[in-house]
Structure 1
Amino acid sequence: MSSDKVKRGTLKSKLTTFTKFVSEVRRKNEITDLDFIQLQERLSKIETLLDEFDEIQCQNESASEAVGDELHEREEFENNFFTQISIAKKIIKDNEAQLVASSAQILVQTKTQRGAPRQTP
């Protein structure tokens, strides 16, 4: 197996790991602040994956006699990539307002508790 195909396998594995995380978050009834932050971080990191894949895949396509198979690999990866990116962005969009409201409520509660007069014995 060529080193480019091994690299492509590594990139596909990274996308699979991201897909699993997105699926876990999606199944939850309530997304925590930590889930939300982690999803944003993973999304920003995974977005560069397509460029890396494209570079390696172009090399595989130009070196391969089975161009149809290589084009199928590209199509499959790109479809999965864009599906997962879209799902992650939708989760973020749907939960952003909720998490902002939750954070604001916590901030108000904290300020209220700090501002409450102390009782002296």
Structure 2
Amino acid sequence: MPTFSAYATPILLLLASNVFMTFAWYGHLKYKASPLWIVIFASWGIAFFEYCLQVPANRLGHAVYSAPQLKGIQEILTLLVFAGFSIWYLGEQIKWNHVAGFALIIVAAFLIFLE
């Protein structure tokens, strides 16, 4: 029987990778005056660390989760990290329709776990 760690470690790695991914994909929105080529290279540099966490998360996680379940976990974490990032870093509001849309995506991701 797998340990708690076998289930939790991939989720924690996916969470951390999502923080890097969110900064790589959206962090540059605060620096609109920066040349696009600099933003691209900076994003690639940040994304490297995302991959360093994402790949082991999926490798370890596949021992206890199916690939669709890992993707579902990834999507839920992406939405949660993005919502916090949008509010905290970008200073943007999350509106009711964003919450409703995110909630529907989360429900869809949870359906993957039904057997």
If the length of structure 2 is used for normalisation, what is the TM-score? 0.40
If the length of structure 1 is used for normalisation, what is the TM-score? 0.38
Higher Cα Rg, which structure: 1
Structure with higher helix content: 1
